[in-house]
């Protein structure tokens, strides 16, 4: 029994000594970066696991903190940029005639026909989305939206770019078969190799275009959980519409819109 106790004691002393040496090397900055990164990651993983067990939603709170930090630093600049895209006339938006006219309509769609403007707002979206940890392997947007903005964003994140068509471009002779290319433009991409999309656009006014994309993506068995836009008009309730489809709406800014009868 004494021999066993001695062995255990020696093992404890050795482990403690090694830990002490590693701690000293790390604190003095001589521990290789790869090992420091591994040790730090393990500590963080343990902390996150404990927080989850306590009912703390790490991902949700991380996004809230990120949004607050981004707001404080950049929102005013975004507002000033969007203000330059306003049409200072009363306009009616959408296909249907509702009798509701908006003052100060932000025509970012038109503004992004200028390459530099599209690249500028794509960079804003890229900066905003960096810490959201969005999971996707291709970008999709509507032909009726702001495809130039989404294309510039796809170049920044180095992801394939796909266009969605509101109406079918063609129909197969065999009506029982589905053809994804009738609704999406893939260029030289192979549709079967793509799995999960991220919708990118300038805004979601009423949400119809985004909802159509979501329905068509799922019709052809693509995953979709996130939509990224520059701004959302307040009062349109688009976020709840997307939540009903299990899609998260990520927007840089909310814009107040004045409605006139």
Position 75 confidence tier, pLDDT thresholds 50, 70, 90: confident
pLDDT tens, position by position, 127-139? 999 888 898 999 9
* pLDDT of the residue at 139: 95
- Beta bridge mates, 6: none
Position 222 confidence tier, pLDDT thresholds 50, 70, 90: very high
Q: Cα–Cα distances in Å, from 3 out to 7, 9, 14?
A: 6, 10, 16
- Are 186 and 162 in contact by the 8 Å Cβ rule? The answer is yes
- Nearest-10 crossing angle of helices 115-129, 58-83: 160
DSSP letter (8 states) at residue 36:
H
The angle at the Cα of 148, spanning 144 to 222, to the nearest 5 degrees, equals 65
Count Cβ atoms below 10 Å from residue 221 Cβ, excluding itself.
Answer: 10
Helix, coil or strand: residue 224: strand
Position 98 confidence tier, pLDDT thresholds 50, 70, 90: low
Q: Any alpha helices (H) in 84-170, and if so which ranges?
A: 108-111, 115-129, 147-157
How much is the pTM?
0.68
Please state whether beta strands 138-142 and 161-164 pair in parallel, antiparallel, or not at all (unpaired): parallel
- The domains located in the chain, with CATH, are 1-15+30-63 (no CATH), 108-256 (3.40.50.2020)
Average pLDDT over the chain reads 79
Q: Residue 30: which residues within 8 A CB-CB, separation 6 or more?
A: none
* pLDDT of the residue at 175: 67
Picking from 34, 3, 42, 128, the residue whose alpha carbon sits closest to that of residue 77 is 128
Residue 45 is encoded by which pair of tokens? 């993983």
- Are 238 and 232 in contact by the 8 Å Cβ rule? The answer is yes
pLDDT above 90 coverage of the chain, percent: 26
pLDDT tens, position by position, 157-200? 999 999 998 877 777 777 667 778 778 888 878 888 889 999 99
- Are 137 and 157 in contact by the 8 Å Cβ rule? The answer is no
């Amino acid at each position: 029994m004494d021999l066993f106790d001695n062995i255990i004691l020696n093992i404890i002393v050795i482990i403690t000594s090694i830990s002490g040496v590693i701690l000293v090397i790390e604190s003095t900055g001589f521990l290789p970066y790869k090992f420091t990164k591994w040790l730090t990651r393990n500590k963080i993983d343990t902390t996150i696991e404990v927080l989850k067990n306590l009912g703390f939603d790490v991902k949700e709170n991380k996004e809230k903190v990120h949004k607050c930090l981004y707001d404080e630093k950049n929102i005013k600049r975004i507002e000033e940029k969007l203000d330059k895209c306003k049409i200072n006339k009363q306009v009616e938006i959408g296909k249907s005639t509702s009798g509701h006219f908006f003052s100060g309509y932000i025509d970012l769609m038109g503004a992004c026909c200028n390459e530099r403007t599209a690249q500028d707002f794509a960079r804003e979206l890229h900066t905003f989305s960096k810490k959201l940890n969005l999971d996707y392997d291709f970008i999709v947007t509507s032909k009726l939206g702001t495809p130039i903005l989404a294309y510039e964003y796809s170049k920044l994140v180095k992801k394939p770019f796909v266009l969605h068509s509101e109406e079918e471009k063609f129909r197969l002779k065999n009506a029982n078969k589905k053809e994804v290319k009738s609704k999406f433009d893939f260029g030289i991409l192979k549709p079967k190799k793509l799995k999960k999309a991220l919708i990118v656009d300038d805004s979601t006014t009423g949400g119809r275009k985004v909802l159509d994309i979501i329905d068509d993506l799922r019709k052809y068995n693509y995953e979709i959980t996130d939509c990224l836009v520059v701004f959302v008009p307040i009062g349109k309730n688009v976020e709840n519409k997307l939540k009903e489809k299990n899609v998260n709406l990520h927007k840089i800014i909310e814009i107040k819109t004045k409605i006139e009868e």
